[in-house]
Amino acid sequence: MTTLQDALAEFILAQEADGSSASTVRWYRSLLGAYADQNVGVELKDVSAHDLRHYITALPEQGYEEETVKGHRRALHKFWAWAHREYDLLNPMRNIAYPKPPKPNPQPARMEDVRLLFKNAGERVIGIRNRAIMALLLDTGCRRNEISQMNIADLHMESNTIMVMRGKGNKIRAVKFTQFTNVIVREWLAVRVQTDALFYDLDTLDRLLPNGIGQMLKRIARRVGVEGRISAHRWRDLFATQYILNGGDLVTLSKLLGHNSINTTVDHYIAFTDLQISEAHNRYSPMGQLINQIRKDKLKEIADAHQKAKQQG
């Protein structure tokens, strides 16, 4: 006799063994755990499509929002497709529609907010570290967990490249950055202590975790009065948006972001050399735009100070 609880425990174990991310496993455990809790002692073979439809249609009455209900449906489809293969059972979800994926809703950070955070990243060592993190966020479009996983041994300053673990799929990919970021990262390399992680907590010397990167951005945003969300993923959205607006193409952008492809044609019939990707990246990354604007701001400050001194003299 295999109960839903038994099968769910085995499904979670299978996900972990197959290399699913910790967040994906937590997602399955949360949604499918709620389902199993309402069907304690029910045998797997006794579950029907009617039972599942009744469970799904009751979710809104329990206060679940539309997108959360869709999440339950996705999790149930994944679980029962696995159970069908694992236990050689009919799949009771086979005639229940798989929910359409949510429409993408990119919400890039504002360049003026990014400039404000960058200029107020902090003093001394912590400021140098924070600016290096911000530079890589804006210049590469990396996710915050990819920034967290960066190791000093994987950094190649001569080619402006760092090897990182992809945020999805646990695959290694090469990330390019511009010479602007090279200069900023070198400042960090000159003051950091010797430890494996490229970025670390200055107090404990432990690897700086993704949440630590997010909290750092939030703290600076609060200090300088930036309103609204300024999460690392919005920097990724800004990188993608500005890259295209600045004249970049979707093919190189897709590769820079670590996506598998824009479509099959791009994957199988279009190839870019490492040099071509680097040259396109150096032309189109918003990092150059940020540095140039900061230089203009500094020149204006000097000119204003000179004019004021001249008037007072």
Task: Convert the pLDDT of each residue in 285-311 to its tens digit.
Answer: 888 889 889 999 999 999 998 888 888
Give residue 283's pLDDT: 77
Domain-embedded: residue 258: yes
pTM, two decimals, is 0.59
Q: Cα–Cα distances in Å, from 162 out to 13, 103, 165, 227, 279? A: 33, 31, 10, 32, 16
Render pLDDT for 117-128 as a digit per residue (tens, 0 to 9).
999 999 999 999
Which of 87, 122, 144 is the last residue in one of the domains?
87
Please state the domain count of the chain: 2
- pLDDT above 60: residue 262: no
Instruction: For residues 62 and 203, state if they share a domain.
Output: no
Please give the residue range of the domain that contains residue 143.
Answer: 111-307
Instruction: For residues 125 and 163, state if they share a domain.
Output: yes
Closest by CA to 107, choosing from 236, 14, 198, is: 236
Give residue 62's pLDDT: 84
Instruction: For residues 127 and 48, state if they share a domain.
Output: no
Domain-embedded: residue 100: no
Instruction: For residues 159 and 76, state if they share a domain.
Output: no
Which of 71, 87, 103 is the last residue in one of the domains?
87
Instruction: For residues 135 and 276, state if they share a domain.
Output: yes
Instruction: For residues 60 and 142, state if they share a domain.
Output: no
Q: Rounded to whole angstroms, how far apart are CA atoms 252 and 247?
A: 11
